[in-house]
Amino acid sequence: MNLPVLKAADFASDQDIRWCPGCGDYSILAQMKKVLPELGIPREKTVFVSGIGCSSRFPYYMNTYGMHSIHGRAPTFATGLKATRPDLSVWVITGDGDALSIGGNHFIHVLRRNLDINVVLFNNRIYGLTKGQYSPTSEEGQVTKSTPMGSIDHPLNPLSVAIAAEATFVARSLDAHVKHLAETLKRAAAHKGTSLVEVYQNCNVFNDGAMAYAQEKSQRLENTIELEHGKPLIFGTDRDKGIRQVGTQLEVVNLKDVAEDDLLFHDEKAMDPSLHFLLSRMRHPVMPEPIGVFRDVEGVATYDEQINDQVAAAKAKHGEADLNALFNSGDTWEVAS
């Protein structure tokens, strides 16, 4: 059979895109449209499910099936859909407010259940659609419309939460680092189980430059560290610094003083999440922030696979359903005419 070769444009819907000019969302949309044709999954088998927020308008712009749902609940819709339709490729598009605040509960549960879906979390550390209140990832002290004296909430670290929930795939990328983003989305799609990709995404209207330390090309090499499976953690413009583990802590060392072999080597396949959790704790400005795949654990059964396996096993054990047999089971009695 000759399958049509799809291009990025084939995944674009006919709807006008209404994000603010300069929004980081455009870049994520563009990379998604570029990646999807490479996956070889037909458009009609692909479903985007989103919650509420700027990012959650995403499904309208994709020429696939889509559902723009309600605040924070996209993972739950995806659960019902994927559990009954494991043949579909399901993507959840969400933001930091949507996923971590109103949807915090569902975020945890979809990850621990390991439903075979891909979650893309756009993190701009601000509420954009409601015009500029602080979000669960906003820095302490951040002045916003609802925190004129500075936010007193301690920010939530989405990857720490995900790793604590023992998510089987956890990654981070940047809207401005398009190649890295495309590669990360591809890795997420390839993973069997819930994959979470946090994308640092600039909101140039309400929180411009909040993650410039990671986004700006000039600063990125100093302030981020690219994770590679089996490789030592090295960073810096001159690749002259590394990360070493001392007890239960990580520290930045200079490669002049420490041999490469003594650095922490990244193991994304480790079933034990402890080291991945440590990596998720690396925060700017004390440490470079890791980008790439923190964790990609294989062989963990997925929720959709298991719910359908149980149905198959029950059918194998009891035979095909027979309503007559069910209705007449147990104690019955006859009333004669």
Partner 1 sequence: MSVQPEGQLIADKEISEVDGITVRLAGDSGDGMQLLGTQLTNTSALLGNDVATFPDFPAEIRAPRGTRAGVSGFQVQFANSEIFTPGDTLDALVVMNPAAMVTNIADLRRGGLLIVNEDGFDAKALKLAALTEDPVTEEIEDRYRVFKVPMTKLTRDAVKELGLGMKEADRCKNFFAMGLVYWLFGRSLEPTLRFIDNKFGKKLPDVAAANEKALRAGWAFGETTETFGITYRVAPAKLKPGTYKNMMGNQALAWGLLAAAKRSGKEVFYSGYPITPASDILHELSRYKHFGTRTFQAEDEISACCAAIGAAFGGAMAVTASSGPGIALKAEAMGLGFILELPLIVINVQRGGPSTGLPTKTEQSDLLQAMFNRNGEAPLPIIAAQSPGDCFDAAQEAWRIAVKFMTPVILLSDGYIANGSEPWKVPDVNEMEPIVVTHPPDAAEGDAPFMPYARDENLARPWAIPGTAGLMHRVGGLEKADGSGNVSYDPDNHQLMTDKRAAKIEGIANDIPAQEVFGEESGDVLVISWGGTYGACHTAIERCQREGLSVSHAHIRYMNPMPANLGDLMRSFRKVLVPELNSGQLRMLLRAKYLVDCIGFNKVKGKPFSVSELMDQIHEIADKTNANGQKVG
Which window, 119-127, 216-224, 293-301, 328-336, contacts partner 1 (CB under 8 A)?
Answer: 328-336
Q: Does 229 bind partner 1 (CB under 8 A)?
A: no
**Chosen residue from 34, 109, 192, 284 binding partner 1 by CB under 8 A:** 109
Measure the CA–CA gap between 30 and 287, rounded to whole angstroms.
30
**Chosen residue from 63, 138, 151, 173 binding partner 1 by CB under 8 A:** 63
**Chosen residue from 26, 65, 213, 265 binding partner 1 by CB under 8 A:** 65
Contacts of 14 (CB under 8 A, 6+ apart): 63
Q: Does 320 bind partner 1 (CB under 8 A)?
A: yes
Least distance to partner 1, CB of residue 103, Å? 10
**Chosen residue from 17, 19, 26, 43 binding partner 1 by CB under 8 A:** 43
Binding flags for partner 1, 297-316, as an x/- string (CB under 8 A): ----------xx-xx-xxx-
**Chosen residue from 23, 32, 88, 170 binding partner 1 by CB under 8 A:** 88
Contacts of 161 (CB under 8 A, 6+ apart): 100, 104, 107, 108
**What DSSP letter does each residue of 293-318 carry, written as one string?**
EEEE---PPPHHHHHHHHHHHHHHHH
Q: Does 19 bind partner 1 (CB under 8 A)?
A: no
Residue with tokens 């069997």, as numbered in its chain: 192
Q: Does 79 bind partner 1 (CB under 8 A)?
A: yes
Our CB check for partner 1 shows the closer of 161 and 227 to be 161
Q: Does 83 bind partner 1 (CB under 8 A)?
A: yes
Measure the CA–CA gap between 35 and 221, rounded to whole angstroms.
25
Which of 48, 40, 47, 49 minimizes the C-alpha distance to 76? 49
**Chosen residue from 27, 31, 69, 94 binding partner 1 by CB under 8 A:** 69
> Phi/psi of residue 48, each to 5°?
-105, 130
Q: Does 67 bind partner 1 (CB under 8 A)?
A: yes
Measure the CA–CA gap between 310 and 100, rounded to whole angstroms.
31
Q: Does 150 bind partner 1 (CB under 8 A)?
A: no
Q: Does 101 bind partner 1 (CB under 8 A)?
A: no
Q: Does 99 bind partner 1 (CB under 8 A)?
A: no
Please work out the total of residues on this chain that contact partner 1, with binding judged by CB under 8 A: 64
* Token code pair at residue 33: 């449209």
Our CB check for partner 1 shows the closer of 66 and 292 to be 66
**What DSSP letter does each residue of 94-148 carry, written as one string?**
EEHHIIIIITHHHHHHHHHHT-S-EEEEEE-SS-TTTTS---TTSPTT--BTTBT
Burial per residue of 199-211, b for 16 or more beta-carbon CB atoms within 10 angstroms, e otherwise:
bbbbbebbbeebb
Give the pairing of strands 241-246 and 234-235: antiparallel
Q: Does 149 bind partner 1 (CB under 8 A)?
A: no
In the complex, the residues that contact partner 1 under the rule CB under 8 A are 13, 15, 42-45, 47-49, 52, 59-60, 62-71, 73, 76-85, 87-88, 105-106, 108-109, 307-308, 310-311, 313-315, 317-321, 323-324, 326-328, 330-337
